[in-house]
Amino acid sequence: MNHNNQDMFSPLTLKNGVELKNRLVMAPMTHTSSNPDGTVSDEEVRYYAHRSKGVSMVITATTYVTPNGMGFPNQFAADRDDMVPSLRKLAKGIQDEGAKAILQIFHGGKLCPPALVPDGDVVSASDIPSDREGAAIPRPLEEAEIEEIIEAFGETTRRAIEAGFDGVEIHGANGYLIQQFFSPYSNRREDRFGGSLEKRMTFPLKVIDKVQSVVAEHGNEDFIVGYRFSPEEPETPGITMKETLHLVDVLADKNLDYLHVSLINFFSNPRRGVDDLTKTRIHHLLETINNRVPLIGVGSIYTAEDARKAFETGIPLLALGRELIIDPDWVQKVAEGRDDEIITEIDKAKQEELVIPNQLWKNIVNTPGWFPGV
């Protein structure tokens, strides 16, 4: 192993006592490759297992907690108890290769396609549509419905425990329902779930409390609970870096096992909301967290040198997304000092060798610019 790579292969002990064997994680990525009935497909399990050998933790593609939270076609389900056997198959496929299996849980909110939710009833914090072409105007959730969704996050956590997962990641990022409640753009409510910054944090914090209470009742002390967030929104009014740092400051004291920032580029700078725009978002976040909880960084990490530079910031954990699709053996190559053998562009002749499900493969090759080499 290259001496400069040793830090990324040191173990890390989470707050709940779980030891991660290294600092590298597989990032959650949508692949739209589940069965039409919401069960996990065999090619999906193979895809994950093939990428679970080197990393310490695999965070799955997100799964929905209620029928009206489904955000993608061919997305696997966790909104009902008869999905537990399917979920168990996915957890085992990851764990058999030596990684912790983390189930990411979410509700799509206004980003749910009407055709995928019962009666086309798309819901959100308020009636502000997304900027996607042809987006539906969402129906604002009633307070009783909000409480039901909070309960559903708890029930999905129980199912993850019963299915044998090592943890869950609450998906509060990428514009989905939890972020919609935190966002001053999407949330125009005037009740206890909206208005001030503190009130807009109510829904995310209640989801965390519910998940943690279910873990205390049904799980073991070593069950991992993480939370993912996006640092900023382009809209005005929208989430600013200042507001996110306030949220993160609160989250760092919520007894979570990790936080996970969603970034396209690990080294990106804030667009607004802080005095120093020359410092990266990662630096601002690490300063605010101040070692209270591990932070997972992510975003366009392809080479071992990219990873080394990322770890030089002091980030405790680093997630790899597209790169693990391009080169499933990335971690092993770095561990064995074979940095020069890392592949950083997708080889369009090697779908079968890379163990990439058919629908994900179609999405990759038909989306120019999404992956290097396409």
What average pLDDT does range 168-193 have in this prediction? 98
The pLDDT assigned to 123 comes to 98
Q: Where are the beta strands (DSSP E) in the chain?
A: 12-13, 19-20, 24-26, 57-59, 63-64, 100-106, 123-124, 139-140, 167-172, 224-229, 258-261, 295-297, 317-320
CATH code for residues 3-339: 3.20.20.70
Give the chain's mean pLDDT: 97
What confidence tens digit (pLDDT) does each residue in 49-79 have? 999 999 999 999 999 999 999 999 999 999 9
Tell me how far apart the alpha carbons of residues 303 and 307 are, in angstroms, rounded to a whole number: 7
Catalytic: 176? yes
By CB atoms closer than 10 A (0-12, 13-18, 19+), residue 349 is exposed
**What's the alpha-carbon Rg for the chain, to the nearest Å?**
20
What confidence tens digit (pLDDT) does each residue in 193-233 have? 999 999 999 999 999 999 999 999 999 999 999 999 999 99
- pLDDT score of 119 more than 90: yes
The pLDDT assigned to 60 comes to 98
Contact 64, 19 (CB under 8 A): no
What average pLDDT does range 329-355 have in this prediction? 97
Instruction: Give every CB contact of residue 3 below 8 A, 6+ residues apart in sequence.
Output: none
Instruction: Give every CB contact of residue 116 below 8 A, 6+ residues apart in sequence.
Output: 70, 71, 72, 73
Inter-axis angle of helices 143-162 and 202-218, to 10 degrees? Answer: 30
- For the chain, what are the domain ranges? 3-339
- pLDDT score of 87 more than 90: yes
Catalytic site residue from 47, 176, 185, 227: 176
- pLDDT score of 3 more than 80: no
- pLDDT score of 92 more than 90: yes
One-letter amino acid for residue 240 of the chain: T
The pLDDT assigned to 4 comes to 76
What confidence tens digit (pLDDT) does each residue in 133-165 have? 888 999 999 999 999 999 999 999 999 999 999
- pLDDT score of 368 more than 90: yes
- pLDDT score of 326 more than 70: yes
- pLDDT score of 1 more than 70: no
One-letter amino acid for residue 257 of the chain: D
Instruction: Give every CB contact of residue 309 below 8 A, 6+ residues apart in sequence.
Output: 267
The pLDDT assigned to 359 comes to 97
Q: Which two tokens stand for residue 262?
A: 């969603």
Q: What percent of the chain has pLDDT over 70?
A: 100
Tell me how far apart the alpha carbons of residues 157 and 225 are, in angstroms, rounded to a whole number: 10
What average pLDDT does range 330-358 have in this prediction? 97
Contact 29, 321 (CB under 8 A): yes
Range 118-124 contact pairs with CB under 8 angstroms and sequence separation of 24 or more: 118/67, 118/68, 121/68, 122/68, 123/68, 123/177, 124/177, 124/180, 124/186
